[in-house]
Structure 1
Amino acid sequence: MADFDEPLCGCLQDMFSCLIVFCVPCGGICIQAYSVDKATSSGMVCPFLWSCCLGCIGSAVNRGQIRQKYHIEGSFIMDCLISCFCGCCAATQEYREVMNRERPK
């Protein structure tokens, strides 16, 4: 198992996701739902509802799905803490990670 390839506080590396998360209402939730869908092909509705209805816990569940797909180290408790205190940065990190790993080769 490995860590995320993308740094948590590297959101300025991708201005698109950074602007969506910080300037669009519910932008972080939408970016995260898109990332989970792109990684798992499970659709965007459930990840969106997880984050909307359960807040940090729902975001942690979504982050866990991405970690599970790419065999990234971590725990549910750490996902909850990151989602609670660094939610915007976490959403952009997950988006960048999925985009880099799913890029056609």
Structure 2
Amino acid sequence: MYPSQSAQAYEHKYGVTVPVPVPPENHIPPYTSPAMHAPPQRGLTPWSTGLCHCFDDPGNCLITCICPCITFGQVADIVDRGSCPCVASGIAYGLLLSFTGLGCLYSCLYRSKLRGQYDLEEGPLPDCLVHFCCEPCALCQEYRELKNRGFDMGIGWNANMDRQRRGVMGAPAMGAPVMGGGMTR
């Protein structure tokens, strides 16, 4: 942007420089296409396991096939960071699944939250379609992702955070393990 004619005349007459406004970094002029100025995409992380790797954890695969509300409750507790307990999330999912048959409408929201928290790739299909087409596989993949990130899925968010504070192995985002003093007599 250049100063206007009147600004140049003011500078000449009074010897004072008129500051030229600079648009903010994310400013897109109205005459250009926003697609031309889209910010570069952040690097997204791939999932630690594939959608169909359910048999990497056969115990969870079996539980999810028999009663998906258990796996969903465990995933939701970690994703919500303990704000909604595992039991409450599992019951809400189970009721929605029982009365409508569409628990995927609720669980796909948690897949999106999980992806947002860890910058995970969406994959070949949107989250809702992944859950609609293959709900058990999607829940198992989310469970494995959190487990591979260091969460003990059986104890919930609060216990995981307590373990992390105490430095117990298996807790997420821990530092180096604390070594004992060695053997004593």
Unaligned runs of 5+ in 1: none
Deviation at 1:16, TM superposition (A): 0.9
| Backbone CA RMSD of aligned residues | 2.2
* Structure-2 change in CA distance of 1:48 and 1:2 (3 Å): farther
Whether the aligned pair in 2 keeps the contact of 1:11 and 1:89 (CA below 8 Å) is yes
Amino acid at match of 1:86: C
Identity of aligned residues (%): 30
- CA distance in structure 2 between the aligned counterparts of 1:48 and 1:90, rounded to whole angstroms: 19
Unaligned runs of 5+ in 2: 1-43, 97-101, 152-169, 175-185
Alignment of 1:79 onto 2:127: yes
Q: Which of 62, 67, 80 in structure 1 is aligned with 2:115? A: 67
Moved over 4 A (4+): none
Richer in helix (by share): 1
The answer to which structure, 1 or 2, has the higher relative contact order (CA under 8 A, 6+ apart) is 1
Q: What does residue 9 of structure 2 align with?
A: none
Whether the aligned pair in 2 keeps the contact of 1:51 and 1:59 (CA below 8 Å) is no
Deviation at 1:3, TM superposition (A): 2.1
Q: Deviations over 1:19-45 (max 9, x none)?
A: 1012x2xx2222022012124323222
Give the TM-score of the pair, scaled to structure 2.
0.48
Alignment of 1:90 onto 2:138: yes
